[in-house]
Each structure stands twice: as C-alpha cells, then as structure tokens.
Amino acid sequence: MGLFDKAKDKAQELAGKGKQGVGKATNNESLEAEGHKDEAAGKLKGTGEDLKDKAAEKFNDIKDGD
C-alpha cells in the first residue's frame, strides 16, 4: 500500500473521531454515528491494505525461495 493510501485511511479515521467529538458536544447523535462509521471505515481499509501487502510479501518470499 502506498504512503498516500495510508495517509488517506488515517485521515478518514481521524475525521471520524472528530465528528464523534463534535456530535457528542452538540448532542447530535446522527453526526456522532457518522463519525463512528467513518472511523471504522478508515480502520477497515487500512487493515485490508495491510493484509494485502503481507500476502504479496509472502508470495514473493515463496516465489524467490526464501
């Protein structure tokens, strides 16, 4: 996964946390829920990309005989 993708996923995660905070502070349950959704989506994307990277690395190790 590229550095840009990692930054983008982390930004989505942090934006979600921000929305949660604003939602709690303003008693806006909808905004808070949207923040939870955005945070989870950012984490999920990051985890999926990490798994993809590890699988590719393992494939290359096997292919190269390591």
Q: What is the pLDDT of residues 10-57, one digit of tens each?
A: 999 999 999 999 999 999 999 999 999 999 999 999 998 889 889 999
pLDDT attached to residue 1: 60
pLDDT attached to residue 42: 95
Contact indicator for 9, 45 with CB cutoff of 8 Å: yes
pLDDT attached to residue 50: 87
pLDDT attached to residue 5: 86
pLDDT attached to residue 28: 98
Please give the torsion angle defined by the CA atoms of residues 46, 10, 32 and 40, in that order, rounded to the nearest 10 degrees. 10
